[in-house]
Amino acid sequence: MVIDTATAASGFASQVYAACDSMDEHRFGQYLTEDCRFVYANSDPVIGRANAAAYVKGFMSMISGIRHELLEVWQCDDDVLISRMNVTYTRKDRTTLTVPAMTVWRMRDKMIQEYLIYVDVSELFGG
């Protein structure tokens, strides 16, 4: 198995989301393979750790904060982790938006090779 136990899978997911919540793209990027495929909501795929980190940095520059409340983590097969959570975004004007989200991670060598984020953030910027 890629992640040995359900507790380890949940712990790994918590570490990844803490890195995301830190809004530090380099800390976040350490969990991605060099050739990762990163897809946020309905955006085009971003290929490569450096490009994914740059994408995250750009997105984070548009908000004041982010917080993930991890609800469940499932390990499927040997290389897939699925997480369900609530994500709270803090806008630049300090208002917040909380939305449900899910991620699917395809793992390789205990790193995320494919990172798919399913979330509706159409209300985040007044859309």
Indicate the helix (H) or strand (E) that contains 60. Answer: helix 49-60
Residue 50 DSSP SS3: helix
Average pLDDT over residues 38-63: 96
78-118: pLDDT as tens digits: 799 999 999 999 999 999 999 999 999 999 999 999 999 99
Fold of the CATH domain 6-119: Nuclear Transport Factor 2; Chain: A, (3.10.450)
Closest of 75, 58, 51, 65 to residue 20, by C-alpha: 65
pLDDT at position 13 is: 96
1-41: pLDDT as tens digits: 345 566 888 999 999 999 999 999 999 999 999 999 999 99
